[in-house]
A = this chain, B = another copy of it.
Amino acid sequence: MLNQWSHMSLSPILAQWVEAADTAGLTRQQQLYTLLKGAILDGRLAAGYRLPSSRQLAVDYRIARNTALHAYQQLLAEGFLVADRGGTRVAGLMPVQPQPAVDCDAARHPRLSQRAGRLQLRQGEAVLPFAPGLADLNAFPWGSWARQLQRAWGEVSARQLAYAAPGGEPMLRQALADYLRGRRGVLCSPEQVFIVPGAQLALDACARLLADPDDTVWLEEPCYPAARTAMTAAGLRIVPVPVDAEGMAPAEGLWQQRPPRLLYLTPAHQYPLGAVLSLERRLEFLRRIGDGWIIEDDYDSDFNHSHPNRPLPVLQGLNPEAPVIYVGTFSKLLYPGLRVAYMVVPHWAVRTFGEAVESLYRAGQAVEQRALARFLEGGILTRHARRMAPIYQARQLCLRDSLLQAFGRVGRICGGAAGLHLSLLLPEVRDDRAIVRRAAELGVTARPLSEYYAVAEAAANGLVLGYGMADVARIPELVARLAAATGDDARLDALHKAGRQ
């Protein structure tokens, strides 16, 4: 059936084709193209090898003439074949290395960078009770949000679809400045507000635009792991500074020995232990920061359980001239997937910092930003916050109460004056990572406190527990499961009590 054109090299290749008739939904032409390209790339069809004419190929393999013709044309266009008076030949290419079928020998592949190796990997985050950092997503006011989005889409023009204005949509910057002034005591004009896609990018921008590799950054110990990641990725030297009941507590000598270029703080509600940074320390940090910068991460202060109608004012508001970058997010009030966070920068840094941020991240999502602006202006967000505050407050008290009952003899509760999480300190003999693994098997998510520490030897054992998604009716039973996971003899008591409720 094959005539003299069919060379030794070609027939085993095309035989493969005939055998593998159904190749993942490709057309006959694509199949022929792929087969020939593969054979050229791995050297089975050598440079200079002359192919039969498309007409001949069609006859030999009983395929449509067009199939052969188009496959040849594509290979010619891409440079795999060359055509001359002598016919169609394989181009003079160096073959690539033969492709191993499945290669599990990682050592043969290039590695990631060393800095990638130093990053703290994020653990999978389940949307389950006690996963820290999540608001009650079921309570989100969909109806209003969907209406605002619809309205914003209705107004859309080419400008809103292109990259957003530098710093974000002016409407949102204005609405945020008003909101932050009124609700958080941030002293700023709209020009000082920069919208960024997520708080982690805000921290990343601060780490890279305000500090150079080997510069010193003070982090709270324990600390928000994503802040540590941003600082590590930027090549900064991390100084872990212990926290006490009044927040970050640097030893007196530290200011001289290792003056911070960056000072990262969670003043409203230390993450994860929950201390409120005292006014004395706020003023001291402002006074001593010198030519460094303070990053004030106000990650979850929307809910203040101690003073529901009077949230603690921010450090930034104590001196709007100070080198403070205030960072906030809508993840807790709205939903994390929205990915809208913001920075407030000192008025004297608006131009320089703004230009640098713009060159690192292109702003988008103008439509969503407009919807959000209306959400703020219309007071919908404030009403939502006001509605949720007593719900979270009740969850916090219930969780506290259940933890006291189940762990009162061994554990100590930290934090809870604001935000959406508590921490439970456990005796050193307990391995919190093992407890968390066992709790996961029992369907409860918690985070080991020791994971939040930079220095493993200094790490306290415990559990960081978010109550944003935890219904009051379920909390006692969930805490009982946690107690079971700790393997304490408190376990039976706790289970017993939960059973009665």
Contact = CB atoms under 8 A, between A and B. Distances in A.
Contacts of A4: none
Contacts of A336: 161-163, 362, 364
A395 to B, nearest CB: 16
A358 B80 contact: no
Contact of A359 (B119, B140, B142, B153): B119
Nearest to A306: B77
Interface string A146-182: 1001000100101111111010000000000000000
A500 interface: no
B346 A365 contact: no
Interface stretch (A318-326, A434-442, A480-488): A318-326
Contact of A200 (B93, B212, B278, B361): B361
User: Can you tell how many copies of this chain the complex includes?
Assistant: 2
Given A78-B312, A138-B158, A339-B365, A116 B208 contact: yes
A235 B211 CA distance: 13
A122 B358 contact: yes
A130 interface: no
B352 A337 contact: no
Contacts of A164: 337
Nearest to A280: B93
B286 A161 contact: no
Contacts of A352: 111-112, 116
Given A78-B313, A114-B212, A364 B349 contact: no
Interface in A51-80: 74, 77-80
A312 B213 CA distance: 41
Contact of A278 (B79, B103, B290): B79
Report whether over half of chain A's contact residues are helix, strand or loop; otherwise say mixed.
Answer: loop
Nearest to A307: B77
A18 interface: no
A106 B162 contact: no
Contact of A113 (B78, B122, B209): B209
B162 A125 contact: yes
A99 interface: yes
Given A137-B161, A138-B158, A209-B116, A280 B110 contact: no
A323 B112 contact: no
Q: Which of A208, A229, A287, A291 has the most CB atoms of chain B within a 10 A radius of its CB? A: A208
A213 B208 CA distance: 13
Interface string A440-467: 0000000000000000000000000000
Given A291-B110, A336-B163, A367-B337, A121 B91 contact: no
Given A113-B210, A115-B212, A318-B41, A339 B77 contact: no
Interface in A345-387: 346, 348-349, 352-353, 355-356, 358-362, 364-367
Interface residues of A, number: 108
Contacts of A78: 279, 312-313
B112 A337 contact: no
B158 A284 contact: no
Contact of A79 (B100, B124, B280): B280
Contacts of A308: none
Nearest to A73: B310
B120 A359 contact: yes
A411 interface: no
A211 to B, nearest CB: 5
A229 B359 contact: yes
Interface string A262-291: 000000000000000011100110110011
12 contacts: A74-B310, A96-B322, A103-B321, A110-B323, A112-B353, A113-B215, A138-B158, A163-B337, A198-B362, A229-B360, A337-B364, A339-B365
Interface of A: 41, 74, 77-80, 91, 93-97, 99-100, 103-104, 106, 109-116, 119-122, 124-125, 127, 134, 137-138, 140, 142, 146, 149, 153, 156, 158-164, 166, 197-198, 200-201, 204, 208-213, 215, 226, 229, 233, 235, 278-280, 283-284, 286-287, 290-293, 307, 310, 312-313, 318-323, 335-339, 346, 348-349, 352-353, 355-356, 358-362, 364-367, 469
Please give me the 5 A-B residue pairs with the lowest Cβ-Cβ distance, nearest first: A79-B279, A339-B364, A161-B335, A137-B158, A337-B364
